[in-house]
Structures are given as C-alpha cells and as structure tokens.
Amino acid sequence: MVVMKSTKVLIGSENRVKIESTRQSFSKFFKPLEIHGLPADSGVSASPFNEDTFTGAKNRAEHVKRINDEQALKANFFVGIEGGHLQLHNRWFQFTVIYILDQQHRESFSTTGMYELPNWIVEKLLAGTELAYIIDELAQESNTKEKQSASGFLTNGAVNRLQNYTQAITFALIPFLQEDLYFQRK
C-alpha cells in the first residue's frame, strides 16, 4: 500500500470563505490536502488602498510561515488574502490580492477581478469606513464578508466572494504548477 503525503496549507485568516476558497483551489491539484486557518496580522489598515493591499496579503502569508517555522507545523504552502481598493484611470475599484509562499521561499501574486465602486462608497472608504460595514448596511445583514460580500451584493448574487477568491487562488498557484516556466528559467 502506498501512503501519499498530505499537502499542508496554512492561510493567514480564520474567515470561512477564505479557508473554503483556498481548499477548493488547492484540491484541484493537491491530494490529500490539509488546510488550516490561523489569525494573521496584515500590517495594513482594515481597508487598504493600492500597493498596501499587496503588502497586506504578503504580510499575512509571511506571518503564518513564521508560526509554521516556530511550531514545526510542516506546512508546504502559506496563503495571504487581502481585500482592498485600487485607483486606476481616475476611478476606484475593489479587488483582492492573493499571495502564496512555499517552503522554498518561492512566491506568487494574483488578484481577483476588479469592479468599480460608486463615488459615495469611495468617499466613505477614504474616510475610514470598511467596505464590509457599508455592504452590511446596504444588504441589511450582518457579517456579509463571510457570506456574499460586496461582489455578491453588487452583482445580485451572480459572483460571490467564494467564486471570486477561488479563481484568483487558482491563478496564484500557476507558478507552482508550472515550476519550469517560473522558477527554473534564468
């Protein structure tokens, strides 16, 4: 009997949607699979802008890698997911950054699709209100960030957070699936 070694992934969040999207993406390529969500500080604001969104995702993954190394958890991959806002062409967009780091310190970034935000929401964001709270109020629900989130609300349920993240995590895995194209060439 051949026993296959499990691929272990640590994600810098305890958010159920982030954990499940990571599970769905990695399970397409790695079996057996273990996913564990751990609290991790992003080191950026709760609603980051532009480059800080990339920094936040990277910080989350590096945080769980440090925990892994300190506690000898033997994980193979470390995932950071950070939602934020990006200004392009004099407009503001919501997007999420995915950062994956492995034991060999190889890394990859990806993003979800971006969608434009209305000016009145941008004004609230710039004043320090987190998008999740704005969507909670609009949807008249609580904790929408663990459910449909902004993408689900604004698309009337056509694209929810789980779908958005799952695709982006799969894209962030590309370098690890195509190692010879990304990590071996000089």
DSSP 29-89: T-SSEEEEE-----SS-SS-BTHHHHHHHHHHHHHHHHHHHHHT---SEEEEEEEEEEEET
H/E element holding 91? strand 91-102
Structural domains of the chain, ranges and CATH numbers in brackets: 8-116+160-181 (3.90.950.10)
53: exposed, middle or buried (Cβ count in 10 Å: 0-12, 13-18, 19+): buried
User: Of 33-37, 107-111, 181-185, which range is least confident?
Assistant: 181-185
Who wins on pLDDT, 3 or 88? 88
Residue 102: is its pLDDT beyond 90? yes
- Which whole number is the average pLDDT over 119-123? 94
pLDDT at 1: 52
Is residue 144 predicted with pLDDT exceeding 90? no
Three-class DSSP category at 93 = strand
d(CA 30, CA 117): 36
* pTM, to two decimals: 0.93
pLDDT at site 75 = 98
Q: At residue 43, does pLDDT exceed 90?
A: yes
What average pLDDT does the segment 41-50 reach?
94
pLDDT at 146 over 90: no
Do 109 and 87 meet the contact criterion of CB atoms below 8 Å apart?
Answer: no
pLDDT at 56 over 90: yes
| Range scoring the smallest mean pLDDT among 105-109, 142-146, 173-177 | 142-146
Residue 67, pLDDT score: 98
Reported as a pLDDT band with limits 50, 70 and 90, residue 93 is very high
pLDDT tops 90 at residue 180: yes
Neighbours of 37 (CB within 10 A): 20
Output the pLDDT for position 2. Answer: 53
